[in-house]
Structure 1
């Protein structure tokens, strides 16, 4: 990552960049984001990240949460996010907020960016990193379950990896050769939304979630589910599952969790109660889960054999927000220092 321009003590500081939703999304280069998120995950596993427990203030209609973190080499940032019921989508919630990035050497605010596209893309980057680290090298088909913003972000990250030129960092992370890249299928509960999302990304649309899962070697669940969207019986031998949804309930069933080798972003996915921890992992022994960053760092083997079922359960982590904010800041043109 490009370091921030030095600031001379006593000189007027450049104002922080303020990016709206569109500008934030435009600055999130998927390939750079994937590398930055991998760096953050490795730092979490190495215990070099400073990230206090999430806190939230609750009101009668929703809550406001805050998640600060420091990641060596990436910076210091904090997310403020509100979670309220969404009247336009009964049963679902809207997540809105900002992420502030600060200079880690003198505390200057560097950027204030929209949290919604940042969160969707950094979450997709984590799920993609897990896919690349844990899926079998002979993976032939990937199923993306969901039709909302998170599924849209996931398809963007997948295309970044599948289309990455040989020799690039993203290509070097692929477990399969470029000539044998897997196909991608989208599945969801709403056929019209499923078709529209598939057409937007140039991938196939499945007739049902069950059909997509049964045919896939890797499944990426990106839903707002409160009950499982897949069952163990649908999964093929040696399948990989990345589950990033289910903040309000279960996204994968108990049998899948029981049979899978588990991977998470942080220990709190198991040890913390929801929503910080995962609904599916409550009551498990912490030793059941391996940190994904340890696999990325090469200190844990990840998948042991081709018949093993692997599950990455994401709950998010503030270190990933730092990584994404750093990518945005480095991509956004800086305003000149008035003292220069």
Structure 2
């Protein structure tokens, strides 16, 4: 008998994810890597048809993104309204792939930011494991993707010395937008893994010398996370000097007209480009399209790369796939049920999701 369907809010999902330790995070990372690999290794079992959309007379557009791994089937919906400043809202609905029984409904905002940031860690952690140190990182953006990228780095990369967070407006807004880093340069829960880490907030408004400080941060970074829907490069490509090799993650841009970095960088002979999906990135990734790259120029992230590819300059481009939502969403749902069972006699029990009894 299937368990009662469980409804998880953004707050529920944040609670679960923020309480995962490093082994649990790595386990979820492996689940995501396997899901991406199965697109190629299990093509008859994995289904993710092209997204569909409708636009209503009030200016709202809703996207529908179905996926299935045969065992489970999911539909993610996201609604955007260009006439308001409201952030997109969405849900992920997960069913039993055989019986159609509802398993759960998850708010999509935190989940989307988390699974995207998680994907950006696949190659970076392999790179570190192969001996390339990461001591200084730069994160562009202050949204959910940026917050999760920052959180994952602090939890999974010990010994960081400096984290620079770059926003579009003021330094104070950068600090306010990143709850995990609001106590910049103070003791946080991350201090155990990186006790000497310095947090730096950069923003162009009211900051004399911003460009010089940005150039220094980017040029000295071992890893750069770009988490914005930018239509123009976030920094001049000249900032990426030849003094060091680095990892650059491009996860914020997802349409052909968007680009977070100069596409010319992806054409350099000393740069290896990894993607979540060759097919999707050749159609949707502005940096890949702008660079004129072909299928043979790209390596899908689940592949085990050559040692030399990991040692050099690496770019990871992700436009997001429905199967990623299903894989990570199902794991979050599993952990939510597990957490509810552990805390059944605790007041915390009430804070993790809502069951729908007798649904079918």
Where 1:137 maps in the other structure, the secondary structure is coil
Pairwise CA distance, 1:317: 0.7
Q: 1:290 to 1:55 in 2, by over 3 A?
A: same
Question: Residue 96 of structure 2 corresponds to which residue in structure 1?
Answer: 103
Q: CA deviation at 1:247?
A: 3.1
1:327 paired residue number: 331
Q: Does 1:199 align with 2:182?
A: yes
Are the structure 2 counterparts of residues 305 and 155 from structure 1 closer, same or farther at C-alpha, using a change threshold of 3 Å? closer
Partner of 1:67: 65
Q: Where do 5+ consecutive residues of structure 2 fail to align?
A: 189-197, 203-209, 341-354
User: What is the aligned residue count?
Assistant: 298
State whether structure 2 residue 10 is matched by structure 1 residue 21.
yes
CA contact (8 A) 1:244 1:315 kept: yes
Number of the residue aligned with 1:220: 225
1:173 counterpart residue number: none
State the distance in 1 between where 2:39 and 2:163 align: 30
Where do 5+ consecutive residues of structure 1 fail to align? 1-5, 8-13, 163-177
Q: CA deviation at 1:331?
A: 1.5
Deviation at 1:106, TM superposition (A): 2.2
Matched residues in 1 for 2:51 and 2:161: separation? Answer: 37
Q: Does 1:280 find its partner at 2:287?
A: yes
**Matched ranges for 1:104-143 at <5 A:** 104-134=97-127, 137-143=132-138
Counterpart position of 1:171: none
Aligned counterparts of 2:33 and 2:148: Cα–Cα separation in 1: 17
1:16-95 equivalence runs, <5 A: 16-28=5-17, 29=20, 31=25, 32-48=27-43, 49-60=46-57, 61-71=59-69, 75-85=72-82, 87-88=84-85, 94-95=87-88
Counterpart CA distance in 2 for 1:144 and 1:138 is 17
- What is the alpha-carbon root mean square deviation over aligned residues? 2.7
2:351 aligned residue: none
TM-score (norm 1): 0.78
CA distance in 1, matches of 2:144, 2:237: 26
- 1:287–1:182 Cα change, 3 Å: farther
Higher relative contact order (CA 8 A, sep 6+): 1
Q: Paired residue for 1:188?
A: 167
Answer whether contact 1:67 1:78 (CA < 8 A) is retained: yes
Q: Say if 1:245 and 1:142 are closer, same or farther in 2 by CA, change over 3 A.
A: same
The alpha-carbon distance between structure 1 residues 242 and 68, as it changes in their structure 2 partners (threshold 3 A), is same
Q: Secondary structure at the match of 2:139?
A: strand
TM-score normalised by L of structure 2: 0.74
Q: 1:218 and 1:146 mapped to 2: Cα distance? A: 14
Counterpart-to-counterpart distance in 2, 1:278 and 1:47: 25
Note closer, same or farther for the CA distance 1:59–1:280 as it changes in structure 2 (3 Å cut): farther
Q: Does structure 2 retain, via aligned residues, the 8 Å contact 1:261–1:311?
A: yes
1:315 is paired with a residue whose SS is coil
- Retained in 2: the 8 A contact 1:130–1:242? no
